[in-house]
Structure 1
Amino acid sequence: MKSFIFATYLILAIIPTVFKAQAEGYVAQNACDNDSKCVGLKNEYENEADLVTKSEKREKYTACVKLCNMMARAQRWAVQNGGR
């Protein structure tokens, strides 16, 4: 019985953390999708006709979004830990 209570407690403690992390990731992704630099790159690759060039431009856009996400995470971490 004790193990059941402990397992239930663990599950109830973990679930909100997982949903919060997913929500923060979603917000960061949306912020980066709307970042002016990344939007310009996205428009370039979507309008490109040549497949090789389109692939290269897509890689640049993906790198832009990844960098933006890292910066957003670092900023959130700094705010949570008392920095700026």
Structure 2
Amino acid sequence: MNEVKINVKLIGVEEATAKAERYVELLKEAKTLADELASVEFEIGIKQATDSSQESIIPLDEKSITKSSDLLTRSLKTL
């Protein structure tokens, strides 16, 4: 059996690897920021149009804040 040598030059592999590594770092940073946002509590003050002297504080629904964080967390777990 004869031995055959083939020289192959891969173009763009290093650049693609660097971009993939940067992408992973950005995803990690995004997850950290999403987790921080999910732990923040908000209060919204609402004044009635007919009587501006009455004001009530309504807490923002936690579910609406954490939905995007949960989606990001699930996406990152697949990496």
Name the TM-score, length of structure 2 as normaliser: 0.44
Give the number of the structure whose residues are more often helix, by fraction: 1
Give the number of the structure whose residues are more often strand, by fraction: 2
Greater Rg, structure 1 or structure 2?
2
Name the TM-score, length of structure 1 as normaliser: 0.42
